[in-house]
Structure formats: C-alpha cells, structure tokens
Structure 1
Amino acid sequence: MEPTSTTAFQILPATEQDIPRVYELIVELAVYEKLKHQVVGTVEELINFSFGPNKVAHVHVGWVDGKIIGYSLHFLNFSTFLCKPGIYLEDIYIQPEYRAKGYGKKMLLHLCHIAKQNNYGRVEWQVLNWNEPSIKFYESLGAVPMKEWTQYRLVDETLTKAAEKFLEL
C-alpha cells in the first residue's frame, strides 16, 4: 500500500512489493551492527515467511517523501505466566539521515498500540550491549533490561546436531 501523504511520516503494513526494499534495509542494519556476515537469508525467504502459507513475520514500513526509510519486523511469542501472546520485536531500523526525528519512537509505539489493541501481554526485544544510543532511547520509554535472564541459541551445525539427536531417541 502506498502512503497517502508524500511528506508526513506514515507507518503501513508491508506489501510483498515492499520486501526487496526491506531486505536492503536489513542489510544496512546488519552493517551498522557489524553483523553483515550473518545475513544469509534471501528476499524470497523473507516474502515466504511474511506472506506465504507459513507466515510468522509481521513487517511494517515507515514512509517519508514517497519512499521507505525504515521498517519494523516482529513475530508473536507467548507467555505462560501471563497466559497471553506478546510481540517480539526482531528489528526496528530507520536510515541514519532520518534519525532523531521521532520516527523510530513512532514505530516502536505503534507496536505497543498493536499489542494493547489485541490484549497482548508485552512487547520485548534485544539490543546489543554496545549500542548506547538505542539503550538510552529504550530506557527513556520506560523499558527495562532483563538482566536475570540469559538467552541461549542453537543455530547452523548445533541446530542440525540437536535435531539429529531427536531422531536417535
């Protein structure tokens, strides 16, 4: 969907046609985070998991001056303690030349609005420890770090080995 205004910042659900641009922004974010080497997915995979029969990702795009200048990508998780779903924000990104205009804040608050409209229990995300500007921004909104939790991950070869162990059971 195209924005209705060419100058005001607007947040819209991404369309399939927007995904190649979103992918470009994902690469920009990875470069900023010094993690470009980890970008191994494709535009086609992003389209499949955002619009296909196995949809799990929800993408919103931020428009200014008739172009996409940022995006957010989230998926739903579930809290057994709250007995409610929540939003897990995987990425939020605004191009550097458009920062400090409130666009990132507006995108994050938009997700909070979606969560409240749907009676979800929380919105959560991760931030790299060195990313002080983002940490200060999140804390200015009242977000608190979850220091008592440690995240674990199985990926690539470790995920393959764990899946193979299941088959041996």
Structure 2
Amino acid sequence: MTHIRFATAADVPQIIAFVRELAAFEREPDAVVATEAMLEAALFGPRPAAEAVIAEGADGAPLGFALFFQNFSTWTGLPGMYLEDLYVTPAARGAGVGKALLRHLADIAVERGYGRFEWSVLDWNQPAIDFYRAMGAVGMDEWTVQRVTGDALRALAGR
C-alpha cells in the first residue's frame, strides 16, 4: 500500500536524490545544478515557489515524489496545477505508485478549485505517454514549449 504525504524540510535530501535519479533517467545526469539549500528555500522558504509530495511504502520507505506549482489560465480564469517532476523508483514501478501520485495531485487540484492539471513529457518516453493517456491525459501536440535560460535570459532582460 502506498501512502502519500506532503513533503517537509526534512525530505529535501531525498527529494534532491530523486531529482538526480530522474535526470539520469531522462539522459541528462549532469544537468541538475539545484542544491539542497536551493530546494529547501523554494519549497519551504518565506515565499514557496512549489510544493512536493512523497510516496512511501507500508514500511515508510520513500518510493517516489511529485513536485508541482500553481499556474494560471487567463482563458479559464482559474488557477491550475503544473507538475514539474514525477518520479518513482525503478523497484516500485508497476506497483501503482505513479498512479497513486497522479490521483493524489488531481485530488488536490479539484479540492483547490483548479481548472487544469498539466505537465510535459519527453517525446521519446513512450511508456510514460501511454501511462498518462491511460489516466485520461490528452497530448497538446499543437503546442511547443519555449524556454529562455542563462545568457539568453540575461540578454532578453537587457542585462
């Protein structure tokens, strides 16, 4: 049985470990520059930027996590939930942990009156795409993500 709870500051080391495992799975093992201090400030500082939940087994062992934040749709006039990361340990995959995490987040979104629950998935991760479709997700194939980072972000800001 999977138990899901909101993360606490004490979970930050486990969350950063999960983030690193996820980055390795997504073929970007060296891309994680976030530190425990950065995540602690982002999740539990005076102005939290995101929230996280931890999935645990019956023995309390961490099985995975989800990190999410509120966004907003001008079209619906409602806030929404954006799932930044969903990760389940390899040993726990296929045991319903990912499904439990998504259902838990959907419940939070409904409880808070959000109009949407959305996320991105790598186009090569067909097992994840199939899983999300089975859970009722619809691909937004006509939309592409745009991103500005680093020097390009500073240049855009005129700095």
TM-score, with length taken from structure 2 = 0.97
Residues 1-169 of structure 1 aligned to structure 2 (within 5 Å): 8-64=1-57, 65-164=59-158
**Post-superposition shift, 1:149?**
1.1
Read off the aligned partner of 2:99 and give its amino acid letter: K
CA deviations 1:1-42 (Å, max 9, x no partner) are xxxxxxx31000001001101100110000000012210111
Read off the aligned partner of 1:158 and give its amino acid letter: A
What is the alpha-carbon distance in structure 1 between the residues aligned to residue 126 and residue 141 of structure 2? 16
CA deviations 1:41-86 (Å, max 9, x no partner) are 1110000010001201100001112221200000000000100000
Moved over 6 A (4+): none
Read off the aligned partner of 2:132 and give its amino acid letter: Y
RMSD: 0.9
SS of 2:104's equivalent?
helix
What is the alpha-carbon distance in structure 2 between the residues aligned to residue 101 and residue 62 of structure 1? 12
**Post-superposition shift, 1:162?**
1.0
TM-score, with length taken from structure 1 = 0.91
Give 1 or 2 for the bigger CA radius of gyration. Answer: 1
Correspondence for 1:4 = none
SS of 1:129's equivalent?
coil
Identity %: 42
What is the alpha-carbon distance in structure 1 between the residues aligned to residue 147 and residue 135 of structure 2? 28
**Post-superposition shift, 1:143?**
0.7
What is the alpha-carbon distance in structure 2 between the residues aligned to residue 143 and residue 66 of structure 1? 30
